[in-house]
Amino acid sequence: MASSTERLPAGRRWRSLAGVIGGVVLGLVLLVAVFGKVLDPEAFAAQIRAEGLEILLSARLVALFALALEAGLGVALLFGLRNRPVLLAATALVLLFLFLTGRAAWRDLQGLPPLDSSGCGCFGPLLERSPREAFLQDFFLLVPGLVLAWLGAARPRRWRAIAAAAAGTAVVTVGLALASPHLPLDDFATELKPGVTLAELCAGQGAERVCLDELAPALASGRHFVVIGDPDGPETPALVDALNEYGERGGEPLATFLADFPAGAESRLLFEWAPAFALASAPNALLELLHRRLPRSFVVEEGRVTATYSGLPPWLSEPGAAVAGGVVP
């Protein structure tokens, strides 16, 4: 019969293996979540603002700090640094995620409107989930890995090198988040990309699900040039002037300004703008899935997107720019 001292190394090996598995799983989940949020950091900041997490700092700074922390912890756990400070920080982060998704799930069960219409945001634009799906998925993705990591808590001999790599990753993540809005990532980071149909551009769940082909049926047939904008945005006067110039010189197809118009706003804007273009309305919950920054534009033909542009297309974004024959390329 084996003695207790002979059994101890086997027990330690089991706990060490559990820790490695837990650290790798939890680290990977955190890093995938960071990648998703870095694609659209402005949306992440908006979610922080909606959740009331602006504490002493602006939502944008809180978002950058959260991304740096999440990225650093992900790398540390992935490469085996599971000491008390790392695990305590990871635990606090997991509890915060579960609190936020749990609160959203509870509000959904009670029939209350979400604090943020764009959803959980834990994985940025990579994953669209209902509040209850977000809570259950976060629980089963994060909690088992965290428990296993605690079981195999360890500080390897090369912990300084791992800590340096984690810190470096955090710095790089902040740099990427600052640069991301200016990079041509819209087709990757949003639902709007060449090849998708308007019937596939949807938001909401169950009976509350809405799709762009239903909200703007005129766009589902023929060829259209569509600009997504904010009726009250600071860039809108110049945008309206560009669209009116395009329409007045016979630009084809007819341009459409797509936005979340408040009740009665379309009638008022028809008088104020005297638009030589059409107006179409869709809720922000859907439009937020189609852009990172406004304006964003696209061409749709027979209900299918054929081209997308960050901002206005080159042939329309310059004042007085002409389109050959007045036709969209």
Note the pLDDT tens digit of each residue in 226-241.
999 999 888 889 889 9
SS (H, E, C) the chain: CCCHHHHHHHHHHHHHHHHHHHHHHHHHHHHHHHHHHHHCHHHHHHHHHHCCCCCCCCHHHHHHHHHHHHHHHHHHHHCCCECHHHHHHHHHHHHHHHHHHHHHHHHHHCCCCCCCCCCCCCCHHHCCCCHHHHHHHHHHHHHHHHHHHHHCCECCCCHHHHHHHHHHHHHHHHHHHHHHHHCCCHHHHCCCCCCCEHHHCEECCHHHCEEHHHHCHHHHCCEEEEEECCCCCCCHHHHHHHHHHHHHCCCECCEEEEECCCCCHHHHHHHHHCCCCEEEECCHHHHCCCCCCCCEEEEEECCEEEEEEEECCHHHHCCCCCCHHHECC
Task: State percent of the chain over pLDDT 90.
Answer: 46
- How sure is the predictor about 2, in pLDDT bands with cuts at 50, 70 and 90? very low
Please give the mean pLDDT across all residues of the chain: 85
Map out the domains of the chain with their CATH numbers.
4-183 (no CATH), 188-326 (3.40.30.10)
CB atoms near residue 277 (< 10 Å): 20
255-259 and 278-281 strand pairing = parallel
State the pLDDT at residue 5.
35
Between 327 and 156, whose confidence is greater? 156
pLDDT in tens, 157-184: 899 999 999 999 999 999 999 998 888 8
- pLDDT score of 120 more than 70: no
Backbone angles phi, psi at 216, to 5 degrees: -130, 70
Q: What is the pLDDT of residue 49?
A: 86
Mean pLDDT of 285-301: 91
Q: Could you give the CA distance from residue 100 to residue 184 in angstroms, rounded to a whole number?
A: 31
Which tens digit of pLDDT belongs to each residue from 258-282? 999 988 787 888 888 989 899 999 9
